[in-house]
Amino acid sequence: MSVENQKPTGITRRTFIKGAAIGAAGVASAGFLAGCGQEEPKTQTPAPGEAGKASFEVAPPPIPDSEIKNTVTADVVVVGAGTAGMIAAISAAEAGARTILLEKGAQFTKGAMWMAAINSSLQKKLGIKINRDEAVEEICRYGGHLVDQRLVNLWADKSGEFMDWFMPIMEAAGYETMLETDLKVGFYKSYPVGHVVIKPPKQPIGHLGEYGSPLYMPVLENKAKELGVDIRYNTPAAQLDRNGKGRVTGVVAGSSGNYTRFVAKKGIILCTGGYARNEEMINKLCPTARYSGSSIAPPSNTGDGIKMALWIGAGMDPIHAMMVFDRGLIGKDGKLGAPWKGGYLRTGSQPFLRVNVRGERFVNEDLPYDYACSAAVMQPEHVWWQVWDENWRDDITRFHTTICSRIVPHPEAPPRDGLDHVAKEFEKFIEQGMIIKANTIDELVQKMGVPAETFKATVARYNELAKKGKDEDFGKLAFRLSTLEKPPFYAAKLSAALLCNLTGLRINTKMQVLDKDMNAIPGLYAAGNDSGSFFAYNYPQMFGGLALGRTATFARLAGQYVATEKAEG
């Protein structure tokens, strides 16, 4: 790939627009982490002359030309080398665009597993047909229709095409793509949309690193290199260049005193992973996310792309949301909020008995992840205790949870670590004091520190309901009830665990970033967690892999769309 390298002498300085405002963040809503509200953070540090604004809302001064040592020109510049960025770069290069991929880390980012799609060739082969219109409406309903249905339609219509492009690439690398079809669940309808990359042949027991992004990201990196994508690791993006209120022309990246201006003749695609690791942005945009005590979001997801876009006038979704798991292990004396010091308990989503800090049962424990976390926010101290006994192996096997909460291996699902691995994790957390173990209920409640008589009455009532096979109090299905009778007994104090932001920069169906007036900003695109307009309030958990499916599908489209733009300059 040919690029132009030259000193910045004689180059017209791109105007850097300051003072851009974000959309109406902080609007009150009804959901937890998945509908974030009007509560303001307790502390703010306004920039000089910008009282009341968080630092990310205030554009920094333009980087001086004296600090920009080189200029590199390409057709397309992609910022961020996660799933979205890698796919966008590949797609742009396949369409004939000279493409540069920038990443602030030393390597690509991995972490995601399932990719949701409709009407893929694999689904057709298996005889699975998803009602497209029903799926679209259900996704919109989860978001209270505070979404752009045109984008949901686009995913429904293009995700199968994406998978049919993606699967042969994996097959050529020696991997298979499977569809998780074993979706035995409770009241909430699930959709067999989750595609997963696995190692052949299918093994009944495996490890979490043996499927998903740990497998496909190296393959995508090699594909990008074969197509001539210029991948530059350790190159953090700092500012976007924009011609007044016109086109975004490039991005300045690198380190102080040694920056490079990357000029994009066709466009910039932001794919930096969102802001789930940026405490200030969470406090300002999505304050109820502070009810989490744990995070498994990649540390690099600090909102870089979103901030740069805001500084040149981009708009954001009006209400912010985070994806969460109900697996944030915080320990008896753990604290909520950043820094997120809690651990991750993979059995946290199992429908064992849950009680609040007063020893009371408060919810049907078989809810989708974010619903369960929302219910806990309504309780004292916003946390819960999960309680189980020595029959946990039989209980988990009977519960038969699916997608990422699945524990027991199944031939119609990707490899899972299994019950023996969970037992080792329990022992580790017990040694660390994060899980409580006791020989009697009296000993357990004493160690937990909740009101003893209330807790013991709750356990007695729960045992009664489990033996009846009917949850008369909260309506949990019979096969997901369990008794607490066989010692030893266990308890873990839990909260939400953050994964990623669901909302972000407003985009249209060409993945163009929109300004506050809903007009496209020429030359600027976004995909993945930098982009919004698709989710709101809650994550549609029953579409396994929808977040990654949207990310991958829209990243491919973004690469294709920007490659067709008329080159500038």
Query: Average pLDDT of 364-382?
Result: 96
Last residue in a domain, options 214, 232, 255: 214
* Count of CA atoms in the C-beta half-sphere (13 A) of 473: 17
Rounded distance between C-alpha atoms, residue 272 and residue 270, angstroms:
6
**Lowest-pLDDT range of 114-118, 202-206, 520-524:** 202-206
The percent of residues above 90 in pLDDT, for the chain, comes to: 84
Region 493-506: mean pLDDT is 97
Residue 34: inside a domain, yes or no? Answer: yes
pLDDT of residue 205: 47
Domain of residue 479, CATH code: 3.90.700.10
Residue 250 pLDDT grade (very low, low, confident, very high; cuts 50, 70, 90) = very high
Judgement on whether residues 332 and 359 belong to the same structural domain of the protein = yes
- Whether 104 and 136 map to the same domain: the answer is no
**Pair 525, 480 in one domain:** no
We report the CATH number of the domain holding residue 82 as: 3.50.50.60
Residue 408 lies in a domain: yes
Query: Is the per-residue pLDDT at 145 higher than 70?
Result: yes
pLDDT digits (tens, 9 = 90+) for 162-221: 999 999 999 999 999 999 999 977 788 999 999 999 998 765 444 555 899 999 999 999
Looking at residues 261-284, what average pLDDT do you find?
Answer: 97
- For range 343-365, the mean pLDDT: 97
Which are the contacts of 464, defined by CB distance < 8 A and separation ≥ 6? none
Q: Where among 498, 523, 549 does a domain terminate?
A: 498
The 10 Å Cβ neighbour count of residue 391 is 14
Are 99 and 133 contained in the same domain?
A: no
Using alpha carbons, select from 38, 22, 548 the residue that is nearest to residue 323: 548
Checking if the pLDDT of 16 tops 60, the result is no
Does 85 share its domain with 144? no
User: pLDDT tens, 86-106?
Assistant: 999 999 999 999 999 999 999
Q: Is residue 467 part of a domain?
A: yes
Same domain, 414 and 486: yes
**Angle CA 166–502–383, to nearest 5:** 125
Quick check: 40 pLDDT over 80? Answer: no
Handedness of CA 45, 49, 52, 58 (dihedral sign): negative
Residue 91 within any structural domain of the chain: yes
Lookup: tokens for 364: 């049907």
Domain boundary pick from 214, 231, 258: 214
Whole-number Å distance between alpha carbons of 118 and 136:
11
Cβ contacts of residue 168 below 8 Å, gap of 6+?
A: none
Work out the pLDDT band at 372, boundaries 50, 70, 90: very high
Task: Report the SS3 class of residue 40.
Answer: coil
Is residue 475 domain-shared with residue 342, that is, in the same domain?
A: yes
**What per-residue confidence (pLDDT) applies to 50?**
59
**For residue 231, what pLDDT is reported?**
98
Are 338 and 485 contained in the same domain? yes
- pLDDT-derived band of residue 147, with 50, 70 and 90 as boundaries? very high
Confidence of residue 439 (pLDDT cuts 50, 70, 90): very high
pLDDT at 4: 37
Provide mean pLDDT across the span 72-79.
Answer: 98
Q: Do 368 and 506 lie in a common domain?
A: no
Q: Let me know whether 241 and 390 are in one domain.
A: no
- 270: confidence class by pLDDT, cuts 50, 70, 90: very high
Residue 315 domain flag = yes
Is residue 433 exposed (0-12), middle (13-18) or buried (19+ Cβ within 10 Å)?
exposed
CA–CA distance, 135 with 194 (Å, rounded to integer): 13
Q: Into how many domains does the chain fold? A: 3
pLDDT at 420: 96
The whole-number pLDDT of residue 257 equals 86
Q: Any idea how long the chain is?
A: 569
Q: Is residue 57 a part of any domain in this protein?
A: no
Q: Is the same domain home to 470 and 489? A: yes
d(Cα 61, Cα 49) in Å, to the nearest integer?
Answer: 13
> What local confidence, expressed as pLDDT, does residue 112 receive?
86
Whether residue 2 is predicted with pLDDT greater than 60 in this model: the reply is no
**378-424 pLDDT tens trace:** 999 999 999 999 999 999 999 999 999 999 999 999 988 899 999 99
pLDDT confidence of residue 377: 95
How far lies 65's CA from each of 6, 10, 257, 346, in Å? 13, 10, 10, 50
Strand partners, 230: 100
Q: Do 364 and 465 belong to one domain?
A: yes
Asked whether residue 338 carries a pLDDT value surpassing 50, the answer given is yes
Residue 121, domain extent: 115-214
In a domain, 9, yes or no: no
Q: Are 102 and 224 in contact (CB under 8 A)?
A: no
In this predicted structure, the answer to whether residue 228 has a pLDDT above a threshold of 70 is yes
Q: Could you give the angle at the alpha carbon of 186 between the alpha carbons of 180 and 188, nearest 5°? A: 80
For 459-465, what is the mean pLDDT?
A: 98
Per 3-state DSSP, what percentage of the chain is helix, strand, and coil (rounded to 5)? 30, 20, 45
Query: What percent of the chain has pLDDT above 70?
Result: 89
Q: Is residue 568 situated within a structural domain? A: no
